[in-house]
Chains A and B, each alone.
Chain A
């Protein structure tokens, strides 16, 4: 594939550990930034990214340029001595089954830095934080080095590219907990607090870090931005195969022949990802289903293989594209046990702030264990169904518990017989005893 067909990974090459600054510059690096700062007003940059159709790659899929436009802009005569608001990069990748941002962070750190500077210019933020999960040590090392290079070359710091725009970028390495990936919990963590989510509204774009307007963007989202500014809106829109624009990192893990990550056009059918790129199932295994975009997305079945990977199409099929990294369920892995593993994760990672999540997730785990260990009753399945509603959207402070319910509700729908087999089998043994 031509490198212009895969802008995000064009600098990632097997024969070198990562793209250095000079590697990055050779393929047009920092030219998007130069174009933005020299030729465009901040509002125009927002409009470009909005028109390009870039949607948040962290999972929610909100139009990025639109998000930026919600930030109250400083007065034109504000010299920026008082930092008015913030850009925060969400590099807290911790959704089970997701391994896309680590690649971008480790292999091409300047691409992210350029994206950060352009985004900060667009919203006129003078301070940016990169919130990086604590376990990503190699990414931290490469980012620290790349930030030093970028400062030395005038891409970051005072009077960027001799303009009036200045930006400081700070790196915060976190200390664990999945909930930090939730935008408002992340801001609490950045303020040195427990990472509990905040009530919304107000949204971060109005009142975020230290009460100031704050845009939080995912790593992959920001990595798209330099290319939109460098090659233009029309080029970017031409990359998508369907309703959504641009490319995306898609991945597959589980018992496929070649687990991995590939940059493909938005709208690539799931079948192509699993069968062509991942090489299909390993010998002796059949495809039973998959979670299309991480642990907090609903199961889909082989009958959904022709659904294109784009936000609305996957939603229409009954799930979410989420992070775009597929977790494949084979015919020899028990879906009930898989759901137990997922719910144990969510129960453990609940911040405990609101009751449905704090109490409901451990209850879910207990019921699943009872079923698997032979203490289950058929009524437990109704209780589990009720929990999926009680912990669903609108009943909790944030999206953690509703996300946790997605694989459970779809497993109850598609793999009900597997649940029942645990319950009925044990009953039969008892009766024939």
Chain B
């Protein structure tokens, strides 16, 4: 019994399990915590591996297949490794109009990566994102948790400080 309980969660740290349990108090049932739980794992590890997905499913009394359906639906859950900082470049209409393609190209060129790839030093991954709600300062990007605006002229300098 003990082994059955311990084994599936073995992939998760006590801190992750505690945080997931704390989230449960906000919802009617365990399965509602799915998205928070995946985000907690991702906060600790950068992404959600197969092993972690199975462990979270066990913890929430749901099936890995069910949880995988949720995980792959949401674009801010990463099911493959990403750089320590993810750069989300807006590609929606106002940013597109004001130079988002050039911003994305200059950032990709600077890091020598394509969209979705990790930079060689493991520091960055560049991903596209829909409208970030800062259209009056287009083009914009989100670097980690930080919104960086007015990128038309000097995107590389503004983001990498070079």
Contact = CB atoms under 8 A, between A and B. Distances in A.
Range, interface on chain A: 35 or more
A137 B147 CA distance: 9
Given A135-B142, A259-B136, A327-B94, A192 B75 contact: no
A170 B136 contact: no
B37 to A, nearest CB: 8
Contacts of B88: 135
Contacts of B147: 138
A226 to B, nearest CB: 23
Interface in A267-281: none
Contact of B96 (A136, A137, A255, A341): A341
A261 B135 CA distance: 10
A85 to B, nearest CB: 12
Contacts of A251: 135-136
A189 B136 contact: no
A177 B131 contact: no
B15 interface: no
B38 A97 contact: no
B133 A98 contact: yes
A327 B136 CA distance: 10
Nearest to A349: B130
A360 interface: no
Interface in B7-48: 26-29, 31-36, 38-39
B161 interface: no
Interface residues of B, number: 42
A417 to B, nearest CB: 20
B51 interface: no
A360 to B, nearest CB: 19
B131 A97 contact: yes
A259 B137 contact: yes
A192 B135 contact: no
A193 B76 contact: no
B134 A96 contact: no
B92 A345 contact: yes
B98 interface: yes
Interface string B60-90: 1000000001100111110000000000100
B35 A174 contact: yes
B92 A134 contact: no
Given A94-B130, A173-B39, A345 B93 contact: yes
Interface in B118-158: 129-138, 142, 145-147
B131 A94 contact: yes
A260 B136 contact: yes
B70 A295 contact: no
Contact of B92 (A175, A255, A295, A325): A295
A250 B38 CA distance: 36
B64 to A, nearest CB: 14
A135 B97 CA distance: 22
A102 B35 contact: no
A136 B35 contact: no
A176 interface: yes
Given A98-B133, A135-B132, A177 B93 contact: no
Contact of A170 (B26, B73, B76, B138): B26
Contacts of A11: none
B97 to A, nearest CB: 5
Contact of A255 (B91, B97, B137): B97
Contacts of B93: 96-97, 295, 327, 338, 341-342, 345
Contacts of B69: 194
A210 B89 CA distance: 35
Interface in A171-185: 172-178
Contact of B70 (A99, A101, A194, A345): A194
A96 B60 CA distance: 35
5 contacts: A172-B36, A295-B131, A327-B94, A327-B135, A345-B93
Across the A-B interface, give the 7 residue pairs with the lowest CB-CB distance, nearest first: A192-B34, A175-B74, A253-B135, A96-B92, A259-B136, A176-B75, A176-B76
Interface of A: 93-99, 101-102, 133-138, 170, 172-178, 189-195, 210, 251-255, 259-261, 295, 325, 327, 333, 338, 341-342, 345, 348-349, 351
Given A172-B36, A195-B74, 13 more contacts: A94-B133, A98-B131, A134-B76, A174-B35, A175-B39, A175-B77, A176-B75, A189-B35, A191-B31, A210-B28, A325-B135, A327-B93, A348-B130
